[in-house]
Structure 1
Amino acid sequence: MKYILTAILFFNIIFAQVNLNEYLNKLENSKGTERVDLLNKISEEYRNISDNAKAIEYAEHALSEALQNEYTVGQINALNNLASTYILSQQLEAGIEYARRAEIISKQNNYKPGIAAVYRNLGVFYIYSNKPQFALDTLKIAVEMFQELNDSVSMASALMGLGAAYTRVNEIETAINLFEDAAEIFSNKGNDYQAAHAYLNLGSLYSTIIGDYQKGLVNSLNALEKFQAVNDQVKAAYAMIIIGNTYESLGDYDKPIEYYSNALSIFENTGNTYLIANAVNNLGEVYKHRREFNIAIEYYIQALNKSKEINNEEGLGVALNNIGECYYELENYLLANDYYIQSYEFLERLNDKYKMSISLNNQAAVLIKLSNYYEAISKSKKAIALAEEVFNSDEIQRGYENLYNAYKATGNFKAALENYLRYEEIKDSLVNERRSSELAKTLADYEAIQREKEIELLRKNSELKQAKLDRQENLTYFFIIISIMLLVFGVVYYMRYTERKTMNQKLLQYTNELNEINRTKDLFFSIIAHDLRGPFNSLLGITDILAEENIELTEDEIKHLSKEVNQNARNVFLLLENLLEWSSAQLGKITFNPTRFDLNEIVTQNINLYRKSASNKELNLVIKLDNDAFVFGDKNMIDSVTRNLINNAIKYTEKRGEIKVFTQKNNEHVLFTVEDNGIGIPQDELSKIFDLDSNIKKPGTENEKGTGLGLILSNDFVKKNNGTISVESLVDKGTIFKVSLPIK
């Protein structure tokens, strides 16, 4: 577990970098208000190079001489400088005191630049005090005021603060947009040094949270180069930490030690305890990944002691958790549990739900090892609830895995199976998202080999097609025999009953039924022939690579290709499972088990299931759920309906589109609505989308595949639950699906 440096990076880049020696030379011959202004600028410059002691010294001189000269603007600037530096140094009480004094004087004199700077300082104070909502409110005001003052550089610094605040509430996309806006403003002003801070924040988010390591490295290395160009060693050390994090995430555990150690040396020279604690914690992390747990514990203890010196509760919680993880790996479960509990106490006080979910899952895992299964179940459920609030998919998955292990150990196999299925569902979703780009790269690397195998693949595909045709021919004969039997039955019936009209009606009925069977059969095989070909081609291509005699693959490559075989097999299995569910529905074999349940629960589950897919397309999800949304029906069928409609909306909405999901109680029914601004449905297809005969199948906006059965199944299931489903759509405008379900 790590803590992110993002929030503190923006704060000391408010003013453009100039020659410090030039200001010091001018100071000797200055006096009055000019001297006060120079003292304030020198203070700002020392803060820019992380010499906080000097920054405070010159700001105090500026404040004293501004009071002597009754220079109000100089006094306000000095107070804001002192507030900035003390807050940056983690001396929050002193910082907030100076900020409040600056606020009073600025408002008394209606000095708007001073008021804007105060709001910016207050925003930073709230970030460090773990009050992100207060930080968001005050920093938004600061941005607006700097914009009104046409002070673009100061506005960019406030945007950086706002990005840090959004990072604390886990709105990462918004934070990235703000950092990119700030970087653009600084670059346009020719302030590359200030832009480097934005690049560093972007590198941190891309590497440590989003997992886009290429963008993380590009931004972090860019920042490192710019900081070293002006000999700003402290900021260069920040960049080294982020670069080390990136290499560590990529599984390279040698380079991170070099980067972390260099950063630690720089931080130790500055005497900044917070940064020292961060660097040694990172060293502990890399040694933990190398499974050198005793060395890792030594570094974590150093981080713990440094965090105690400055009463940094986040650092204490992180270090204690990490020590617990090492003892868990060393199989000292009692000691591991003790450290996990201590860690959680600090994280709970901070209300850091992201890290709390990690700590609770760690506690659950160790409690399972200690055979305390019921407490482990309680911890896991709480971990899942917190992880869902902050969309932490990894910890949601871990929570269900812990529940599966705990329930299995208690003999409650039904609950164990339910949680295992949820675990696999989330795991498959994460694997698909994380490995799709890797699969594309692997296939591209072996494109030449695949071309050489093309003739063999075509032969195998031909054999597969012939086998399918043989099976289809056998089924055709079977249906012909059935048809003959029905015809004979009709003749016998005709001979026994002389009423020609009745006989004709019966024959017509049987003929229609036979046609329906044939249409169903044709569609069934069409789906199989089309949708199974892709996964099997991928399987054949990968297995050919593995079977090639003249190719040498590393262990990692073999492992990767094996995972791809497994994933393609899963895709085939899921396709067959959907087809079986459809065919069971056609034959009336699905058990109908209506109960009263909360529709919001399954809607929320399915939104979370597809949230990453929506994020990949940069879709804006607008969710508005009625407090009372209990309905009466078969929960599994309605789950299938909501899942299909949400998935279709994501599939057929262009990037950066918007999807709205609502539930609304209306008299004796609850209305479930999914609205998108996607590609829409042509009017000539609109009336046919629930019709099996039409077999309308379209790829998504990014060529996503489907069987074409989702809406047909949804229509059948809604009707079976005494509900209604309707659709409204305009091409290039979007589509609205509405499902009305009874409440009893």
Structure 2
Amino acid sequence: MYKQPFAKTLKSLVCLALGLFLHISVSAQTADISKLRQQMAQTNDSVTYLNLFNKLGFMLHMESADSCFYYGIKGNAMATRLHNEPGKADALANIGAALSLKGLYSQGLTYYSQALAIYKKYSNHGEVASMLMNSAITYSFIGDSIKSLQFTKKALNEMLKAPADTMASMLYANYADMNPVLPPDSVTYYLKMATDVANHFKDDRTLLVIDQLYADRLMQQGKHEQALPFIKHSLQIARSKNWEYHELEAYNAFADYYLAKKQVDSAIAEYNIIYKTAMANKFIYWQTEVLKSLLHCYELKNDAASQARINKLLVKSLEQTNINSNAFLGDYIAYNNAQQQVKSLEVVNKNNSVKIWLLIALSVLGIVFIALLSRMNGKVRRHSRMLSVLNEKIAGQNEELKLTDEFKGRLISMLAHDFRAPLASTISMIRLLREDEGDFEKEQLLGLYDQIETDIQNILLTFDNILQWIKKQLSGYVFNAQTLSVKELIDDAASMFKLSIDAKKIVFRNEVPDDLDYFSDKEIIQFINRNLIHNAIKFSPAGGVITVKAQVNANELIVSVKDEGRGISENMIKQLFSFNNNQKTDSLDKGAGIALTICKEFINKINGRLWAESKEKKGTTFYYALPLS
């Protein structure tokens, strides 16, 4: 397949042109340039003039990097005088574009990064994405595909923060075009996204570029006939919009197609159109490259006379390009030197500022004497601060009293629930036995007696829980540690509920190792064990299994009590250990909740942890962990 030798260079220049300042709308170059100049002549607002000036500089980059550089320098100076940072960022971006087009890629990246910093400062996400994409394209120029891809991805991510516009379409298209490792289906995906966005915003320019990208992909795959409709459509749009630059790209794609079909004369005809248009519009970058392509075509035809003619034109074009490049490089060096001088002046000004501050410091020393007179005023202020601290302390104490009153209210509510209801039930059963004792079988009587005993036992346990908590709170906490057998503690706690376990035919499994000991306060540990086992019995189904285990993990002893009850909802678990929990569910009543809260406070005193895990209808497991050191 024939391939024009400068296709990659022109494609890169096109990508750069399209990547630059995507927030600036570009249509027919000549018409827009004239319009911008008219607007500049009519405006009296300096900031508006600066913005128009920067836009004009951008427009001119398609004709000449020299003009773009000139406008960038002037725009930067203008923005500096006006202290207008957004305008300065636009000017710096123009300078970076000119340097990149001239092959000074490192310098171009430097100015892009400076513009990027300003855009980030003002959260201009669209401009940030534009600078990131410009950097990605520049890295692709120098063959750093890794950084090119990284910056392209950053540009896409930044684009998500910006208001939806056509920039997103071009970023998707550039990402598909600049990522060589993307599989064909991914390329098609991103190009389709680009097309959808461009269609939504009726952006013919982006649709034209996408057509050219499709055509380029198909040509690389050898699918020449499939590429032809895209090339024709892009030329049609470019002509209808008077987009000279894109029209040249379409002609270049036609030439590429004809070379692939070995129709060299047709390719030469397209290149001649490009050359005439480039000369008429002063598109410097096209002139030299299209002459190289014509020379390649005449070499294919073995046309020595035409080769000689094109060689003369090419030498002349290269000489002019060299002159322009040398002049540009001289301008850049002069500009860079001027920038260095400005920085030197800034250093001098900074030194002068230091001297001024020294003089101010000497003046301040003279004022110190006067400040001594304000000493009494300082004492008054200190006294005021002391009063403020006391007021804050009183406010804190009032808050504590408020919390205490709230706790008392909850305590009374719990007592009303957990004592009154079971006692009323027990009294009713006693009355029933007294009035109708002869009507019950012995087995029924034994069951009622067991129920009465269980109710009274539960009341006593709840009373014991609250009593011990109040006792600890009022008398002050005293840690009384001793060596304890964890297995024996579990057996001892479970023995208190033997009747309840037998009545519900529950299987109680103590799987704690026999040799597992722990040094701590027995009263606190047993208080927790009794409540966890009591809850497990209370909410276990008849014939269920309760399993107690213990193990040593890292620096903790972890004990678990698992039942096969209905479980607790996730929302309820989050509120289990708080006095503020006023909810009540089928899985846990308020009395059990307060007991668990007291357990939580006790275990916190010995630096332990208490938590629960549960799945509704699949049982609940309560854990507590105790530190080993």
What is the TM-score when the length of structure 1 is the normalising length?
Answer: 0.39
Q: Larger relative contact order (C-alpha < 8 A, sep ≥ 6)?
A: 2
